Chains A and B, each alone.
Chain A
Amino acid sequence: MNASPVPLLQKLRLRENHIFFALTIVIAVFAGLAAVLFTLAIKGTAYVLFGVSPSVLRYILVPTLMSLATGFLLAKYFPDARGSGVPQTEAAYHLKHGDIPGRVAFGKFLTGALCIGSGHSMGREGPSVQIGAGIASTIGKWFKLSPERAKSLVPVASAAALSAAFNTPVAAVIFALEEIIGDMNAALVGSTVVASVAAVIVERSILGNSPIFQVPQYHLVSPAELIAYAVLGVIGGGVSLVFSKGLLWLRGLFKRMPARTRIIQPAMGGLAIGIIIVFFPQVMGVGYEYVNQVLNGGLLLKVMALLCVVKLVATIISYASGNAGGIFAPSLYLGAMLGGTIGTVMHRFAPFPTGDAGAYALVGMGTLFAGIIRAPMTSVFMIFELTQDYQVFVPLMIANMISFAISKHYQPVSLYHALLQQDDVHMPVPGARMPTGTWRAMDFMIRDFPMTPPNASAASALEAMQQSGLQAHLVGSDGLVEGLVTRNRVEKALSSGSGETTVSGLMITDFAHAHPDHPVELVLERLGKNPGILPVVSRRQVREVVGIVTPQSVMQFLQRTWDDQGSSAADETAISPS
């Protein structure tokens, strides 16, 4: 008998779609479990390190020594595990086809648990997202999925991890779409919903169904109270700005320190945190118990105002010094304290009846989240999921949008993207995403270009320019650009008798650049700002040059395009002489 394949069996073979769907659930389960384990690890670490009632010395030593250890681990083994994890995940999704090595996920888990458990004022949600995405990426590689499929596992796992870490499945889906993908109309909605639900089921079956926050019933006491919420939005926007700018400033300061200090920078932050928590143990770690207290009217005005300031400073120090942990939870903490403060003041002094401070704390959480994280839809759904009360929508949207608008106006680049920029990673903004068919820098850039070393003499640079026929050269080595040098400058230097001057002394360090996916309009605009040459650099590392654009290369591209398509187009558009 012939043993040819049976059609039924052929049908049973899984297609990639089916595999992807099954994989979505499996990954969601793993991401959810990882998030739960991460939460448990943080709690366990905190208990082991601090005990029940720690001494002053222990408060100071624990974060310092632990940060010394994690600083070593982060510098030597897990450099991508610093900070939140959300920007790294976004960068991996947009720039690396969703590639997050398993080592990074492991490193994040380890260093995150140690940093947050040792008292650093940071959150667990961002790291959970990166850990989940790392697991997804690793499993995706085992299945040898197509690049697009592998990439799409990242937001799916992010939603699952956040869903399990924060127990808000709807907000987790919105976050994955709004923040990670950056497109609310993404085709991955179905997968993220499935993943989010699967992860939250896993989380609840292990930790139970109790919500993170005990939220009192929300009441809008009078329509005039919306004015108070608008005030909260304005002040919330201001505080978001202070937080974002302060964090970027201090992080910039740390980054400008000599590279050899990188290992001890987290410990510097740890020492500062140790001193802070001696006086304000309330700002340690995630701090949701204090958010709960504010929501239920359990803190005094003075305490809330003070904790708002101290938490802001502590989080900036923890994050900027290079420890591993997120800003998701701190932004909620700050919002609750700020909202509670403003709510109490309004309750006492507003000429109209207002609700309890707890209601303002609740809206404040969303307000700061919208201002700092810049995910206004996520914040609205998150607070709605926490309260399960429609009444909260209007005040929440008013405060959120005001805060978001103020924050965006005074700092156009979101905090996550600005943090990436500090690491020389440039994320594509939604405006740069052009429809398919638009000419991009990658279409007309010159991939084979000369680069002058910084230690080259002016004479040799001029010779190189004469050979290449370019009016300017990139200065740098090993494919990494440091500046530009123009023919004019070199000639001037030579004519003034300083022919031995090296190129590094003549180069322009402040120059425009483009990315390979930038559209032609933007490239031409930026080319106009540079002296005849525009470096095209990688988004993943902005010093890494992948090509150059010159006026000549643009003209040549247009000529080629005309040659290829011009005749047929001319036939179609030609006006008959008769």
Chain B
Amino acid sequence: MEEIKLPRVLNKEILLLAGLSLAACGVFLFTKQMAARAQQLDAKVAGLWYERGVQSMQSGDTAKALEAFRKATSNIGDNEKYQLALADALIAGNHDAEADQLLLRLRESNPGNTGINTRLARLAAKQGLVQEAVHYYQSALYSNWAPAQSDERRKLRIEFIRYLLAHQQRDLAVSELLVLQGRTPNTAAAHIETAKMFIEADDPAHALDEYSEAVQLDGKNVDALNEAGETAFQTGDYAKAEQYLRAALNVDPESTKSSRLLELTEAVQNEDPLAPQISPAERQKRLLAAFAETQSRLDNCLSRTAEEKASAQLKSLKDEAVAMETKFKSPAYPPDSDAVRSGVGLIFKMQQTVSGYCGKPALDDEALLLIGRRHNGERP
């Protein structure tokens, strides 16, 4: 049998190489351990600087905070908390370009991060970049949030809605408000807050829903009752407005604003010749009362108007009113709904014209204006 002589294979070089390789492994492990220790030390030092930065931020010393956060991040480059703190300090210190670079770099590796997107959105908002701000706000809101963060998310959505409203982005604001409405916590304050934003977004119908919810939860909340009444009044739902305003006055009888609005609401409901479920005689009575009231206001205005063109216009309206009134006065001829509608239309026209020349109407005249608007398809 052949005898293998080990020394021929394992010559000196191979042994040396093997020894060196083993030594390299040893040095590698040692270096790795040293690096781990260095990282621990870095983490400790970074933590110290971070704490200092937080304290400086709290005391309003942005420059010191910035320096501290820079040191913290230079010790540990990949700590998101420290980097976001640095970004906050940069933004607070008006180092917008650097903050932007930092946040964009962070976003590259974590595009769905809410903290990063939120800061980018605020930074873009600060710089007046509306489209970018909207993009980052949406990225932040529509990424993954933990269930425990629902309150934070709601706050961010409210911030976004307010930003949209401030920048005339009404449609987007309403979309976000509808999402917010579905996730509003069941408290009166939250519903009132949402309702107010709906009002700002010129959407009183949804605002009324929110106020109604608020009133249901807290029937003694005067603000909610008043706002609900006003909103119902704005939407033309005078019955509901009367209900809320009366309730508000019950809780706070001293509220002059509510009492005037309640009077107006009652007047609108009691003076409307086109109100449903009233008899023809009542309809005729209301119509004639409205004519009388309007003509009286017109006469008063005419006596005070010296301008030729205005006088002519008012006189012409008066003639038209007299003719129509005479027709409506006949007891044998109760007016049909079309005639009443045209009468209400003329009364509205007269009230509008008089308001144009002679200023603010009294309560009954204002009620007639509102009735006219309502039946003219306009919002109150």
Interface residues of A (CB under 8 A from B): 1, 3, 5-6, 9-10, 12-14, 19, 22-23, 26, 29-30, 33, 36-37, 40, 43-44, 47, 52, 139, 142-143, 202, 205-208, 210, 214, 216, 289, 292-293, 296-298, 356, 358
Contact = CB atoms under 8 A, between A and B. Distances in A.
B1 A33 contact: no
18 contacts: A1-B2, A6-B4, A9-B4, A9-B5, A19-B13, A26-B17, A33-B24, A33-B27, A40-B38, A52-B45, A52-B48, A139-B20, A142-B16, A143-B13, A206-B32, A210-B78, A216-B105, A297-B98
Contacts of A1: 1-2
B102 A29 contact: no
Interface string B16-54: 110011001001100110110010011001001100000
Given A5-B8, A206-B35, A298 B98 contact: yes
What 4 pairs across the A-B complex have the smallest Cβ distances? A289-B74, A298-B98, A297-B97, A296-B101
B95 interface: yes
Interface in B325-342: none
B240 interface: no
B101 A216 contact: yes
A33 B32 CA distance: 9
B344 to A, nearest CB: 64
B38 A44 contact: yes
Contacts of A214: 77, 101-102, 105
Interface of B: 1-5, 8-9, 11, 13-14, 16-17, 20-21, 24, 27-28, 31-32, 34-35, 38, 41-42, 45, 48-49, 70, 74, 77-78, 90, 95, 97-98, 101-102, 104-105
Contacts of B97: 296-297, 356
Nearest to A289: B74
B48 A30 contact: no
Nearest to B105: A214
A401 B282 CA distance: 99
Given A1-B2, A3-B2, A358 B101 contact: yes
A127 B9 CA distance: 38
A100 to B, nearest CB: 18
Contacts, number: 95
B41 A47 contact: yes
Nearest to B74: A289
A14 B35 contact: no
A194 to B, nearest CB: 15
Nearest to B35: A206
Contacts of B35: 36, 40, 206-207
B120 to A, nearest CB: 15
Given A14-B13, A52-B48, A36 B31 contact: yes
B256 to A, nearest CB: 58
Contacts of B98: 293, 296-298
Contacts of B101: 214, 216, 296-297, 358
Nearest to A210: B77
A161 to B, nearest CB: 14
Contacts of A208: 78
A3 B4 CA distance: 8
Given A5-B8, A40-B35, 17 more contacts: A1-B1, A6-B4, A10-B8, A26-B17, A37-B31, A40-B38, A47-B41, A52-B49, A206-B28, A206-B35, A207-B35, A214-B101, A214-B105, A292-B74, A296-B97, A296-B101, A358-B101
A26 B21 contact: yes
B14 A14 contact: yes
A143 B16 CA distance: 8
Contact of B3 (A3, A19, A30, A210): A3
B20 A26 contact: yes
